[in-house]
């Protein structure tokens, strides 16, 4: 018999792979939500399937966006444990997460099972699902004004007089703002915070709201006093207030600086009345 070189033969027996089932845990994937993609792979061949892996790729249909990206993330590849011969099976799972800026669209994700030794590639059915953008609050500052003691607007503030800052926080977004805190700060010499006006009371704490519904507004009044220690800085005679608003999620808060003119000239006051004194 003619001797044959064993190097002509492939090593081992081939697996025969098939994708049995692809399941997805969500019908609609919302922004900031995580779903689970599960793939079951079967081996009906006479050899074990080793070093198998699954590749994932996708698009957002109609937007020409290649996936994964920052707003729809998932692993590009995942390893599969050894799939035993003669009907063995393995199941792999990946997490698919919608980012904060995810938009409403149709997503298409393609999976491909690859066995490197026998160069096997099995393409899975396309997974199609809807993505949905985040309903979010949008907190904005409106109606800022400086008020006198009668709470009527005034153009300038004078030294040694207390005054009110009145402003409104509005939620112009499409979702409830939760755990909303407001804080007004000023680091100028001579500017004293007296309190926060709530009805007929003066509170010594910054405002906090458990919820601000979509479209709802909250009006806030701070009371201040400016004494004679206030000084102009390089000709700038303005009070500067920083309004910081935070929400339970960092990206939905804001910080805004507001300025108010102040008259820093101390005027002589009082009328001198001469009184004649009888020397007798």
Q: What is the pTM of this model?
A: 0.64
Cα 86 to its chain centre, rounded Å, is: 50
Is the Cβ–Cβ distance between 273 and 240 less than 8 Å? no
How confident is the model at residue 155, as a pLDDT?
61
Q: What is the pLDDT of residues 241-257, one digit of tens each?
A: 999 999 998 889 999 99
Q: What is the pLDDT of residues 57-103, one digit of tens each?
A: 999 987 779 999 999 999 999 999 999 999 999 999 999 999 988 99
CA 109, CA 203: separation in Å to the nearest integer?
Answer: 55
């Amino acid at each position: 018999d003619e001797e044959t070189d064993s190097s002509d033969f492939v090593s081992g027996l081939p697996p025969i792979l098939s994708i049995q089932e692809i399941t997805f845990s969500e019908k609609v994937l919302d922004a900031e939500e995580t779903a689970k993609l599960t793939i079951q792979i079967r081996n009906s061949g006479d050899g074990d399937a080793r070093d198998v892996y699954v590749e994932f790729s996708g698009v957002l249909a109609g937007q020409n966006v290649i996936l994964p990206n920052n707003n729809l993330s998932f692993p590009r590849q995942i390893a599969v444990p050894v799939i035993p011969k003669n009907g063995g099976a393995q199941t792999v799972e990946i997490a698919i997460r919608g980012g904060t800026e995810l938009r409403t669209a149709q997503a298409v994700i393609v999976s491909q099972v690859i066995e490197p030794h026998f160069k096997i590639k099995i393409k899975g059915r396309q997974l199609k699902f809807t993505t949905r953008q985040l309903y979010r609050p949008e907190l904005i500052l409106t109606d800022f004004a400086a008020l006198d003691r009668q709470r009527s607007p005034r153009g300038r503030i004078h030294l040694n007089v207390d005054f009110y800052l009145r402003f409104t926080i509005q939620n112009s977004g499409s979702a409830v703002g939760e755990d909303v805190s407001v804080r007004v700060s000023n680091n100028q010499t001579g500017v004293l915070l007296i309190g926060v006006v709530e009805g007929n009371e003066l509170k010594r704490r910054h405002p906090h709201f458990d919820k601000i519904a979509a479209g709802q507004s909250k009006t806030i009044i701070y009371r201040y006093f400016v004494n004679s220690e206030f000084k102009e800085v390089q000709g700038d005679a303005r009070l500067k207030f920083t309004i910081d608003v935070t929400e339970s999620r960092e990206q939905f808060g804001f910080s805004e600086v507001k300025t108010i003119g102040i008259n820093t000239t101390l005027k002589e006051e009082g009328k001198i009345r001469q009184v004649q004194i009888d020397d007798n």
